[in-house]
C-alpha cells in the first residue's frame, strides 16, 4: 500500500488524538503516537487536570466520527458503557419552599413533558409516537480513551511512545524533538529523541505544544480567554444496596437526565455514571470560590440556598471535603487560525479550539475534526499534482498541503461558531432554562418541527447535538429562524389584536394573548389586565426592541 511508506505522528493520546491515530492507521500509514503522560490504562496514571476521570456528554457528532472510523467494534465498545440522557432535569425550589424537578426532554417527537402547562401536555399526548429518538450519552472520558487505545494496540502499524513530551518541531524539515520522561538518560537512551515524519497531527490539548511551534511557521491569529468561572468536581454516591438489586435502583435521581441546578451566577450539574453514582460539577465565579475557600463550613448552607436538594444527595461533610480536596480549575476558550502549515502539520481538538464546556461539544467537535480532516485528505489523495512550480514536492505532500489548506479554511468558521455558542449556552443553562420566553421559543420550534416538518425547523440545541450540519450553518439557520418566528408572531398577534384564533397559527397567536402566562411582553412590562387601550401593540413591542434583542440571538 502506497500509504505504508508515509509516517503520521500524532501528538497527544487523548480521545481526539487516539481517534486521529485510528483513522490514519486504517488508511495504512505508519502511525506513531507520542503522549506526555504514562499509559492511561496503567492504574497509577492520574488523568491530566482531573482528580478522577470526568463524565462527558457524547452526542451525534462524536458518535458519527466514531461510526466513520471503519472499526466495527468501536461503537459497540463505547455504547456498552454509556448511559442515555434524554433531556435535562431542572431542579429548584418553589416560592412555597417545596422542591421540584422539571424535565425538559431533548426530543421534540418524544414523550410527554410534565414540566409544561396543561396545553402543552395535551398537545404532546395527541402525538402518535412516544418513543425518544434524540438523546445524548453520558460517557466516562477515560473509559472511552482506554477503548480507543486498546483498539490501536491491536494494529500492527501503530506504535505508542508514552512519557514523551514534545519540546521542539521544525515543520519545514519535518523533524520534531521529544523529551523522554520515563527514566533518566543514559548514553544509549538519551533524554531527548529526534524523529521525522510526513504529517504531524497535534492533538495535545488546550495548552498545545504543537500549536506553539506551529505559530513560528505560519502567521497564526490567536485569541485566548479565561472566563470568570472556575469548576470543581463532586460526587453523588450510588445507593448502598445488596448486589442482587438492579443497577437502576442504585441511582438516587433519574439516571436518564443531565441534572441542572441553575442559579443566576452559579450552576451545579450532575451526569450519571454506570455504577449508579453521578459526577457533579460546580461552576461559579472565582470570587465566590475565594469566599467559600476562606469559610468552607458555609458550603452546605450555600448549597441549600442556591442548589436546593443537593445536601440530601451529598452529605454536607462530603461536600466540604470534595470542595477542599478537588482542584478549582479555570475554563479557557481558544480561537486561532489557520490550523495547519504546508503539508506537514495540522492541529485538532482542544489544541485548535478549546471551548468552555457548556454546550457539551468540546470533545464532540474534536472527534468531528478528525472525520472532516480525513474526508478532505481522502478526497485530495486521489488527485494528481500538475504544479510545475513545485517539482521537488512529492505528489503526496502536494495533495496533503491542498487538503490541509481546505480543512483550515472550512473548519475555522465552524470551530469559532461552536466556541461562541458554548459561551452563550452558559447563560441558557444557568438562567434561560427558567425563563418563559426561552420555553415559548423552544415549544414553538419543536411544535413546528413536529407538526410542520416541511419547514425543516429545529431548535439550535437539536441541530448542534443531534445533527452533523456545520456549526456555522446551524448558527445562521437558527438566527434566521428566530427572526422569522419573532416577526411572524408579532405581526400575526398585532393583526389579531392579541386574540386567540384557532387556525394553524392559532396556537402561536394564543401565546401572545395578554392573558397567556407565556406572553413575554406581559411578563416583562405591564399588567396584562390593564385597560385595553393601554396595552401595547405588537409593533410597539418590536419598536421597543427589547424582545427582538432578547429572543433571536441570545435565547438559543
Could you tell me the three cell numbers for 168? 521542539
Say which DSSP state 162 is in.
T
DSSP 391-446: TTS-HHHHHHHHHHHHHHHHHHHHHHHHHHHHHHHHHHHHTGGG-HHHHHHHHHHH
**Which of 82, 364, 408, 516 touches ligand FAD by CB under 6 A?**
364
Output 38 or 435, the one with its CB closest to ligand FAD. 38
Q: Which helix H or strand E contains 178, and what residues bound it?
A: strand 175-180
Pick out residues in 298-337 that bind ligand FAD (CB under 6 A): none
Q: Per CB under 6 A, does 13 bind ligand FAD?
A: yes
Output 226 or 539, the one with its CB closest to ligand FAD. 226
DSSP H stretches of helix in 279-315? 286-294, 299-306
Q: Per CB under 6 A, does 36 bind ligand FAD?
A: yes
Q: Per CB under 6 A, does 143 bind ligand FAD?
A: no
Closest alpha carbon to 430 in 268, 258, 225, 227: 268
Report how far residue 191's alpha carbon sits from residue 179's, in angstroms, rounded to the nearest whole number: 6
With a CB cutoff of 8 Å and minimum separation 6, the contacts of 115 are: 90, 102, 103, 104
Pick out residues in 343-362 that bind ligand FAD (CB under 6 A): 349-350, 357, 360-362
Least distance (Å) between residue 469 CB and ligand FAD: 17
Q: Per CB under 6 A, does 268 bind ligand FAD?
A: no
DSSP bridge partners of 233: 281
**Which of 8, 10, 14, 368 touches ligand FAD by CB under 6 A?**
14
Least distance (Å) between residue 52 CB and ligand FAD: 12
Q: Which helix H or strand E contains 335, and what residues bound it?
A: strand 329-337
Mark residues 51-90: x for contact with ligand FAD by CB under 6 A, - for none.
---x-xx---------------------------------
Q: Per CB under 6 A, does 231 bind ligand FAD?
A: yes
Output 205 or 255, the one with its CB closest to ligand FAD. 205
Pick out residues in 158-177 that bind ligand FAD (CB under 6 A): 165-166
Q: Per CB under 6 A, does 20 bind ligand FAD?
A: no
Q: Per CB under 6 A, does 37 bind ligand FAD?
A: yes
Q: Per CB under 6 A, does 35 bind ligand FAD?
A: yes
**Which of 87, 300, 366, 482 touches ligand FAD by CB under 6 A?**
366
Q: Per CB under 6 A, does 204 bind ligand FAD?
A: yes
Q: Per CB under 6 A, does 414 bind ligand FAD?
A: no
Strand bridging mode 7-11 / 199-202: parallel
Report how far residue 325's alpha carbon sits from residue 315's, in angstroms, rounded to the nearest whole number: 15
Judged by CB under 6 A, the stretch of 15-23, 117-125, 421-429, 540-548 that binds ligand FAD is 15-23
Say which DSSP state 285 is in.
-
Closest alpha carbon to 91 in 283, 301, 274, 253: 253
Burial of 10 by CB count in 10 Å (0-12 exposed, 13-18 middle, 19+ buried)? buried
Output 61 or 535, the one with its CB closest to ligand FAD. 61
- Total residues contacting ligand FAD (rule CB under 6 A)? 32
**Which of 31, 200, 363, 370 touches ligand FAD by CB under 6 A?**
363
Residue with cell 490539548: 205
Output 56 or 485, the one with its CB closest to ligand FAD. 56
Buried b (16+ CB within 10 A) or exposed e, 410-437: bbbebbbbbbbbbbbbbbbbbebbeebb
Judged by CB under 6 A, the stretch of 34-42, 377-385, 441-449, 541-549 that binds ligand FAD is 34-42
Interaction site with ligand FAD (CB under 6 A): 11-17, 34-37, 48, 54, 56-57, 165-166, 203-205, 209, 231, 281, 349-350, 357, 360-364, 366
Amino acid at each position: 500500500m502506497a500509504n505504508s511508506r508515509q509516517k503520521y505522528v500524532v501528538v497527544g493520546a487523548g480521545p481526539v488524538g487516539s481517534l486521529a491515530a485510528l483513522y490514519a492507521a486504517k488508511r495504512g500509514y505508519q502511525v506513531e503516537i507520542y503522549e506526555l503522560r504514562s499509559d492511561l490504562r496503567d492504574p497509577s496514571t492520574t488523568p491530566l487536570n482531573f482528580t478522577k476521570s470526568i463524565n462527558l456528554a457524547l452526542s451525534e457528532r462524536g458518535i458519527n466520527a466514531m461510526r466513520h472510523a471503519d472499526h466495527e467494534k468501536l461503537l459497540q465498545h463505547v455504547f456498552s458503557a454509556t448511559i442515555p440522557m434524554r433531556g435535562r432535569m431542572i431542579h429548584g425550589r418553589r416560592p412555597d419552599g417545596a422542591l421540584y424537578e422539571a424535565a425538559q426532554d431533548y426530543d421534540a417527537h418524544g414523550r410527554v413533558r410534565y414540566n409544561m402547562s396543561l396545553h402543552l401536555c395535551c398537545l404532546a399526548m395527541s402525538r402518535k409516537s412516544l418513543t425518544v429518538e434524540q438523546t445524548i450519552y453520558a460517557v466516562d472520558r477515560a473509559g472511552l480513551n482506554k477503548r480507543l487505545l486498546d483498539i490501536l494496540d491491536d494494529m500492527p502499524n501503530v506504535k505508542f511512545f508514552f512519557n514523551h513530551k514534545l519540546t521542539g518541531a521544525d515543520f519545514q524539515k519535518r523533524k520534531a524533538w521529544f523529551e523522554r520522561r520515563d527514566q533518566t538518560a543514559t548514553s544509549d537512551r538519551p533524554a531527548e529523541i529526534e524523529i521525522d515524519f510526513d504529517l504531524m497531527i497535534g492533538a495535545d490539548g488546550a495548552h498545545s505544544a504543537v500549536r506553539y511551534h506551529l505559530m513560528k511557521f505560519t502567521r497564526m491569529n490567536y485569541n485566548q480567554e479565561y472566563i470568570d468561572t472556575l469548576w470543581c468536581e463532586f460526587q453523588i454516591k450510588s445507593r448502598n444496596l445488596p448486589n442482587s438489586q438492579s443497577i437502576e435502583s442504585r441511582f438516587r435521581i433519574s439516571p436518564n437526565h443531565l441534572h441542572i441546578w441553575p442559579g443566576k451566577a452559579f450552576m451545579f450539574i450532575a451526569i450519571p455514571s454506570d455504577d449508579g453514582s453521578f459526577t457533579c460539577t460546580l461552576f461559579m465565579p472565582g470570587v465566590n470560590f475565594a469566599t467559600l475557600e476562606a469559610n468552607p463550613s458555609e458550603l452546605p448552607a450555600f448549597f441549600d440556598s442556591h442548589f436546593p436538594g443537593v445536601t440530601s444527595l451529598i452529605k454536607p461533610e462530603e461536600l466540604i471535603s470534595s470542595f477542599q480536596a478537588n482542584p478549582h480549575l479555570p475554563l479557557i476558550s481558544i480561537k486561532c487560525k489557520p490550523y495547519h502549515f504546508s503539508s506537514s502539520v495540522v492541529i485538532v481538538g482542544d489544541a485548535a479550539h478549546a471551548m468552555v464546556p457548556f454546550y457539551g461539544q468540546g470533545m464532540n467537535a474534536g472527534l468531528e475534526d478528525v472525520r472532516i480532516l480525513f474526508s478532505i485528505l481522502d478526497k485530495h489523495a486521489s488527485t494528481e499534482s500538475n504544479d510545475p512550480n513545485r517539482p521537488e514536492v512529492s505528489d503526496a505532500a502536494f495533495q496533503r498541503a491542498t487538503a490541509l489548506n481546505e480543512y483550515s479554511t472550512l473548519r475555522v468558521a465552524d470551530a469559532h461558531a461552536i466556541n461562541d455558542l458554548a459561551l452563550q449556552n452558559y447563560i441558557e443553562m444557568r438562567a434561560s432554562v427558567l425563563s418563559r420566553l426561552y420555553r415559548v421559543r423552544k415549544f414553538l420550534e419543536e411544535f413546528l418541527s413536529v407538526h410542520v416538518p416541511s419547514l425543516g425547523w429545529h431548535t439550535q440545541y437539536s441541530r448542534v447535538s443531534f445533527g452533523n450540519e456545520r456549526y456555522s450553518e446551524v448558527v445562521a439557520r437558527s438566527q434566521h429562524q428566530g427572526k422569522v418566528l419573532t416577526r411572524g408572531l408579532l405581526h400575526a398577534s398585532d393583526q389579531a389584536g392579541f386574540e386567540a384564533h384557532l387556525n394553524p397559527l392559532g396556537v402561536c397567536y394564543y401565546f401572545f394573548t395578554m392573558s397567556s402566562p407565556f406572553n413575554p411582553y406581559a411578563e416583562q412590562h405591564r399588567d396584562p389586565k390593564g385597560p385595553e387601550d393601554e396595552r401595547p401593540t405588537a409593533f410597539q413591542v418590536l419598536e421597543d426592541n427589547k424582545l427582538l434583542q432578547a429572543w433571536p440571538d441570545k435565547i438559543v
